[in-house]
Amino acid sequence: MWDLKIIDTDKTLYIAIADAIERDIRLGILKPGDKLPTHRGLAKTVGVNVTTITRAFNEAEKRGLVSSIVGSGTYVSTGSGYYPSLINTEADSEKLIDLGLILPLYEKEPDISPVVEKVLRKNNMNELMAYTEPQGLKRHRLVGSEWTRRFGVTADVENIIITAGTQHALNCIFSSVFQSGDRVASDALIYPGVKTAARRCGIQLEAVEADNEGMLPQALDAACRRHAIKGVYTVATMQNPTNSAMSAKRRVEIAEIIEKNDLILIEDDIYRFLSSQNATTLAQLLPERSVYIPGISKAFYAGLRTSFVAAPKKLCNRISQAVFDTQWMTSSFNAEIACECITSGLADKIIAAKLEEIELRASLMKSKLSGFRYKYTQNSMFVWLKLPVDWSSGDFAKTAYENGVNVIPSEKFAIGGVMPPNYARISLSGADSLAEFEKGLDVLCRMLNYEISPKLCVL
């Protein structure tokens, strides 16, 4: 059992205790899954009242450090000992083969200069350099409306918001649609950017059990009975990291529970452009309570930092205010270029080229990983690899890093107090070329076959 020995008494006590929890997690004294002392027991150890400990645990939970399980206690959250973002700005990753980050296959994107030159020839640069309403220029929102319609979501131009990418959209949604302290249900394994956005906005993510089709309806319903859940975040197609996809029946069941419990849905559909399936989105089933994000960064020119968000008017105004509060508006110049790519057909050509490359890399991946268990969906940019029992997810990622390859351990995606499965996410799109992708896979295969053990052998 953890024994709290040192706190900074110059700080407010509950903050000092929360800081001590965070410190001991970073030092490895507290590990993911460790159970913390009871409120009463820790209060006695520190010499404070139980209310102070309760506030300290609540603060630690807001930071994503701990999770409380009713009837069981408070535990160190899985993933809390790992850098919270996918990108560690302090790390030197120049020499790594990146099989971790899901990058947009940049080499399949042609030189953007002709598109920029075409935009410059329109002689409307002063308009694009001026302040606009936070929601974005109407003609850009019209293209956004057409983009969302590709995936079955009908949104009027007045219900589209232009944001600076999907991550910006998530921050705007969490900060405006919900209030600090609100609980939002999500899969127990999710894209880490959602965790950081929720944490920054004071939103508590509530883990919901999932299966091969994603979030379980009965588990979501049970979470709503246990807690005052205000919303649901989900990826119904090519869920990151598990590649799960909801069936039509599952989508209807989830939609019914969202409706019954008066929840707001955030549907992140950033990989939908890759899917060959024409499944109904959850947003189609719940048009008046859904925020739909069909991001374009993975599709073409991520550096444009442009995305579309579709929302009912009652939410659209609040999200637009959050855009204003964070950066006034998204760059109209960047949005003009993005819209030109879509309307000219260039975006579709880029997507087609990326699909061809993904098919080549998927074929190579299936050949290399033959004999190992993994979950892969056609056209996906990533694979969810089950690790042999002798490899823990964290050790696998650490050893891969030491041998020049970046992969993402399952702990990075975990929320709540339940330990994640022993998997690693392998990106098909992070490596610069097919040859580099193969080289990285060869390192992983040597590890899976125990030809490389922890702290042995390098590239």
Neighbours of 158 (CB within 10 A): 11
Q: Say whether 94 sits in a helix, a strand or coil.
A: coil
Express each pLDDT in 272-320 by its tens digit: 999 988 889 999 999 999 999 999 999 999 999 999 999 999 999 999 9
In terms of pTM, does the model score above 0.85?
A: no
Q: Cα separation of 53 and 38, whole Å?
A: 9
Q: What is the Cα–Cα distance from 419 to 428, expressed in whole angstroms?
A: 26
pLDDT tens over the chain, length 459 residues = 677 877 877 788 899 998 988 888 878 788 777 888 899 888 888 888 989 988 988 888 777 788 766 566 787 876 555 444 454 444 455 679 999 999 999 999 999 999 999 999 998 899 999 999 999 999 999 999 999 999 999 999 999 999 999 999 999 999 999 999 999 999 999 999 999 999 899 999 999 999 999 999 999 999 999 999 999 999 999 999 999 999 999 999 999 999 999 999 999 999 999 998 888 999 999 999 999 999 999 999 999 999 999 999 999 999 999 999 999 999 999 999 999 999 999 999 999 999 999 999 999 999 999 999 999 999 999 999 999 988 989 899 999 999 999 999 998 998 876 678 999 999 999 999 999 999 999 999 999 999 987 654 444
Q: Are strands 97-98 and 290-293 parallel, antiparallel or unpaired?
A: unpaired
Q: Spell out the domain ranges in the chain.
A: 13-76, 97-102+348-448, 126-343
| CATH class, 97-102+348-448 region | alpha beta
CA 210 – CA 204 distance, rounded (Å)? 18
> Identical fold at 13-76 and 126-343?
no
**What is the tens place of the pLDDT at every residue in 96-129?**
999 999 999 999 999 999 999 999 999 889 999 9
Backbone region of residue 42 per phi and psi (left: phi > 0; alpha: psi in -120 to 50; beta: other values): alpha
pLDDT tens digits, one per residue of 392-416:
898 999 999 999 999 999 989 988 7
CATH architecture of structural domain 13-76: Orthogonal Bundle (1.10)
Tokens, residue 54: 């309760």
pLDDT score recorded for residue 275: 93
Q: Which residues pair with 187 in a beta bridge?
A: 208
How do 405-406 and 210-211 pair as beta strands?
A: unpaired
SS3 51: helix
CATH number of 126-343: 3.40.640.10
> Looking at residue 105, what DSSP letter applies?
-
Tell me how far apart the alpha carbons of residues 331 and 328 are, in angstroms, rounded to a whole number.
9
Q: Which of 8, 352, 29, 304 is nearest to 140 (CA)?
A: 304
Give the side-chain half-sphere CA count within 13 A for 26: 8
Question: What is the side-by-side strand order in the sheet with 408-409?
Answer: 374-375, 382-386, 423-427, 408-409
Q: Is 353 left (phi over 0), alpha (psi -120 to 50) or beta?
A: alpha
Phi, psi of 24 (to 5 degrees): -70, -25
Q: Which residues pair with residue 233 across a beta bridge?
A: 266
d(CA 118, CA 128) in angstroms, rounded, equals 14
Which amino acid would we find at residue 131? Y
Q: How far apart are CA 246 and CA 85, in angstroms?
A: 26
